[in-house]
Amino acid sequence: MLVGVVSDTHNNINNINLIISIFNQREVDLVIHTGDITKESTLKKFLDLNCELVGVFGNNDRNEPGLERAAEECGFEFHQPPFKITKFNRNIAIFHEPELINEYLSKNKDIDIALHGHTHRYREEIKEKTIFFNPGESAGMIKGKNAIGIINLKDLSLERIFF
């Protein structure tokens, strides 16, 4: 099972179209958005994915009118962070802000992958058997510097894709 990871799209429609195209081309089974979508119409663009979309709301989403309603109408499962899902026998905790992760993991020892956004910086590390991953910037204006991620849940390999 391949899982696409994207964060902080910040209403950059051109990049979102590229992101969707990459995930569809790579035939991912699921896309996880770690927050900061920022507009209802932007979230609806993700209807063009050929797979399920789940995620969390970021700090720039929390007071955005219509965003929660749009997620529900589109059939996307979005929650306030943290949000835990289990796919392919892997427990994935989804955050926006990384500051919440350590406290959550101290009470939830069964997490295989902790995903976050917010910093716009790449992060890939392992701490006590948990993979921490943030593919980094995805809403920037400099072509080739934006990134998304793909996780293979079978072997827990990570790939970072620049666009």
Range of the domain at 113: 2-162
Question: For the chain, what is the domain count?
Answer: 1
The candidate with the shortest Cα–Cα distance to 45, out of 17, 67, 73, 65, is 17
pTM: 0.97
Helix H or strand E encompassing 28:
none
Tokens representing 40 are: 């209802």
Cα dist from 133 to 48, 112, 116, 162, whole Å: 25, 11, 7, 15
Task: Give me the residues paired with residue 114 across strands.
Answer: 93, 132
The candidate with the shortest Cα–Cα distance to 40, out of 89, 8, 6, 74, is 74
pLDDT of the chain along its 163 residues, tens only?
999 999 999 999 999 999 999 999 999 999 999 999 999 999 999 999 999 999 999 999 998 989 999 999 999 999 999 999 999 999 999 999 999 999 999 999 999 999 999 999 999 999 999 999 999 999 998 889 999 999 999 999 999 999 9
**CB under 8 A, 24+ apart: contacts of 77-82:** 77/52, 77/53, 78/33, 78/54, 80/56, 81/35, 81/56, 81/57, 82/56
CATH number at residue 72: 3.60.21.10
